Amino acid sequence: MSPLANPDKSLASSFPVSDWERGSKAPKIANTQELRHLTVGIPSRNQRFLPTIAETLLILLTLLTAPASAHKVQIAEDVGGTLHIEPNDNPKAGEPSLAWVALTRKGGQVIPLQECNCKLSVYSQPRTQQTTPLLSPPLKAISTEGYQGIPGASVVFPSPGAYQLQLSGTPTSGADFKPFELKFTVTVAAGTGVPKVSQQTTQQVAQNSLADKEGGSSADLHTPIAIALLTLVVAIAIGVWRRLK
């Protein structure tokens, strides 16, 4: 047969195939077992998405369940203070609470009460510059949570509401830190030992107690809402995974 009878074949055979063209051709796969062998170790599309979904769920779960820190921290000059009120940072009106402040200077060294001429003053909020302290409880050295000899005091808040605890101090002889003044805002809940001084005080306590209960109801709703959101996220993740499967 003349080469012109089949020009495509004649032209194709006239030019040699280069090494690059040979290398670019896909290899022939003999059977399914060989295909499985070649694809071992290559993650599927679903496998690539699963770690991302799992990490997202973990982050959301952490944000929803992480508790807020109850300790309050303030810094003035070269002194920092961490306030803690027992029990459970939840003072109640008419009931004694132990308030203590872990004082530290720059570098993390603890300042014990014996090195500080400290004074604790309690003000009701809102406070003006001319307001005199509502309480000035005496300080004593206490040891708690790994701290030794830090300033603490027993405080009985007279009624529910907002208060400001102000701790001021100057160094004693031989101590090395600047005079400071730390101010902490504290919210006091209604307690069982609140004295009924007058009708107005009783009404104020009742109003604050109602507000606290409403706030508590909102806090109680936090857990079911968090569970519902987490369930929704899991359902969406499963739906995406099934669609990609």
| All structural domains of the chain | 72-194 (2.60.40.3340)
Count other Cβ atoms within 10 Å, centred on residue 243.
Answer: 8
**Strand runs (DSSP E) across 125-217, as ranges?**
140-144, 147-156, 161-171, 180-188
Query: Which is more confident, 31 or 240?
Result: 240
The tens digit of pLDDT for each residue in 118-137 reads 999 999 998 877 788 999 99
pLDDT band at 49 (very low <50, low <70, confident <90, very high): low
| 205 pLDDT tier (thresholds 50, 70, 90) | very low
Q: Is the pLDDT of residue 189 over 50?
A: yes
| Rg (alpha carbons) of the chain, rounded to whole number | 36
Residue 5 has pLDDT above 80, yes or no: no
Q: Report residue 228's pLDDT band, with 50, 70 and 90 as the boundaries.
A: low
pLDDT at residue 66, rounded to an integer: 35
Residue 220's pLDDT band (cuts 50, 70, 90): very low
Residues 149, 4: Cα–Cα separation, whole Å? 108
* pLDDT, position 165: 96
- Contacts for 45 with CB less than 8 Å, ≥ 6 apart: 244
Q: How confident is the model at residue 100 (pLDDT cuts 50, 70, 90)?
A: very high
φ, ψ at 192 (rounded to 5°) = -80, -15
